[in-house]
């Protein structure tokens, strides 16, 4: 075992116990309501241990860990059954964006809170009329003496109810259209001008929300990049979703597959073997994506990877129901983990870019097919 793997394993064994012992195996899709306060404390524990921002550059306060080390961390984290993260949008999206596009003052103000696990973030991109077509954003913001005043509505905002800050895109040039005239703002969530309404999901829980902005205010300096040039920054954020964590995610997938296989009768053996083979394909694809030199890549690898894992996971959810037989449809008190798996995996092919959108990206960027007219 490498020194680094041993360090991660030892730290987790030492810290994921005592007051944090109830967190083992908690959180995650459909279970986001579990032990929320304790998981917030766990974020701070990770921060104190220096495990947040592992791959961030040292000058941004991170550890500058190699991709291999980050993979090891995610694998060990999943293997230990450590809880689903609630600080990932700060660590994986807001932080890297601020480090890449922000001013020194913004870096000094925001990065330490993310690294310490003490400030949580949410992503305010989608709106009722702007999902796959993000350039249709209608939330607007105007700069007044005391700061940016934001009005509009975001939707499907994961963990907005826990977040201290939201990074969002708003139209700041009246009359502008599509990608032009948008700005990337950092907005404090705890203020009178913001109302967060939970949306109940198929699983009966609420991981995401509607967020209403009614004259919400943020300081004049809380715009990342030039005002009106927010599209470039917003796309920069999406590029950070490179997916080192997908290898950790696959350790979780393997555990789910084990649970499904344990219930499978002989009639399901072929399907279980197929799922196992699919998982090996996911791993090989993720490793190849991480190996790729970003400068020579057309960016389609992430789309291929997303299509593969979303489809695989959805089929696993279906198999999880099949192996249970008629009992799969009975609910006694609450959803079982496998019922939960089936229901939540319906969303896998939507969030992070739907399957259709991923196919458009592959068709246009890789195959050079004509642009989608939508």
Ligand X SMILES: Cc1cc2nc3c(=O)[nH]c(=O)nc-3n(C[C@H](O)[C@H](O)[C@H](O)COP(=O)(O)OP(=O)(O)OC[C@H]3O[C@@H](n4cnc5c(N)ncnc54)[C@H](O)[C@@H]3O)c2cc1C
The tokens for 63 are: 């550890």
Closer of 106 and 123 to ligand X (Cβ): 123
Q: For ligand X, which is the closer residue by CB, 182 or 264?
A: 182
Of 26, 70, 123, 153, which one interacts with ligand X (CB under 6 A)? 123
Binding status of residue 350 toward ligand X by CB under 6 A: yes
| Torsion 151-156-157-162 (CA) sign | positive
Closest CA to 34 of 23, 48, 43, 45: 23
* Binding of residue 126 to ligand X (CB under 6 A): yes
360 sits near ligand X (criterion: CB under 6 A): yes
Closer CB to ligand X, 125 or 213, in the complex = 125
241 classed as catalytic: yes
- Short-list 29, 98, 7, CA closest to 60: 98
For the segment 65-94, give every residue that binds ligand X (CB under 6 A). none
Choosing from 34, 75, 210, 241, the catalytic residue is 241
106 binds ligand X (CB under 6 A): no
Site size toward ligand X (CB under 6 A) is 20
> How far, in Å, CA of 165 to CA of 236, rounded?
18
- Kindly state the tokens that stand for 134: 């993000």
Interaction between residue 200 and ligand X (CB under 6 A): no
Structure tokens at 81: 């059954």
Q: Pick one of 26, 106, 157, 237: the residue that binds ligand X (CB under 6 A).
A: 157
Binding residue for ligand X, selected from 148, 208, 253, 342, defined by CB under 6 A: 208
Cβ neighbours around 209 below 10 Å, total: 22
What the block records as the tokens of 249 is 């995610």
Q: Which residues contact 8 (CB under 8 A, 6 or more apart)?
A: 51, 72, 73, 76, 77
Residue pair 307/246 in contact by the 8 Å Cβ criterion: no
Q: Judged by CB, which is closer to ligand X: 108, or 356?
A: 356
Residues that bind ligand X (CB under 6 A): 122-126, 131-132, 156-158, 208, 347, 350-351, 354, 356-357, 360, 372, 374
Question: What positions carry a catalytic annotation?
Answer: 241
């Amino acid at each position: 075992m490498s020194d680094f793997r041993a360090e991660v394993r030892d730290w987790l064994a030492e810290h994921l116990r005592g007051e944090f012992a109830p967190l083992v195996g908690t959180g995650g899709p459909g279970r986001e309501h579990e032990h929320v306060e304790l998981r917030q404390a766990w974020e701070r524990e990770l921060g104190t241990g220096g495990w947040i921002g592992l791959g961030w550059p040292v000058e941004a306060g991170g550890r500058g860990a190699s991709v291999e080390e980050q993979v090891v961390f995610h694998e060990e984290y999943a293997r230990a059954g450590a809880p689903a993260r609630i600080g990932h949008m700060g660590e994986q999206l807001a932080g890297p964006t601020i480090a890449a596009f922000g001013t020194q003052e913004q870096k000094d103000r925001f990065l330490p809170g993310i690294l310490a696990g003490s400030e949580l973030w949410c992503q305010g991109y989608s709106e009722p009329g702007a999902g796959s077509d993000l350039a249709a954003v209608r939330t607007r913001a105007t700069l007044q003496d005391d700061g940016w005043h934001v009005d509009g509505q975001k939707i499907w905002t994961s963990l907005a109810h826990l977040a201290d800050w939201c990074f969002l895109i708003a139209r700041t040039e009246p009359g502008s259209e599509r990608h032009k005239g948008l700005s990337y703002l950092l907005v404090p969530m705890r203020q009178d001008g913001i109302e967060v309404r939970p949306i109940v999901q198929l699983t009966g829980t609420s991981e995401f929300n509607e967020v209403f902005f009614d004259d919400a205010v943020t300081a004049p300096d809380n715009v990342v990049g030039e005002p009106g040039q927010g599209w470039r920054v917003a796309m920069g954020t999406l590029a950070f979703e490179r997916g080192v964590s997908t290898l950790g995610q696959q350790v979780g997938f393997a555990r789910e597959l084990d649970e499904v296989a344990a219930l499978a009768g002989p009639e399901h053996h072929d399907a279980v073997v197929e799922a196992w083979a699919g998982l090996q394909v996911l791993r090989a694809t993720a490793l190849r994506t991480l190996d790729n030199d970003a400068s020579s890549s057309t960016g389609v690898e992430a789309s291929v990877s997303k299509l593969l894992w979303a489809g695989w996971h959805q089929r696993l959810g279906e198999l999880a129901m099949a192996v249970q037989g008629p009992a799969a449809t009975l609910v006694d008190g609450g959803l079982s983990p496998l019922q939960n798996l089936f229901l939540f995996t319906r969303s896998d092919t939507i969030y992070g870019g739907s399957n259709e959108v991923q196919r458009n990206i592959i068709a246009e960027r890789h195959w050079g097919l004509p642009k989608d007219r939508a």
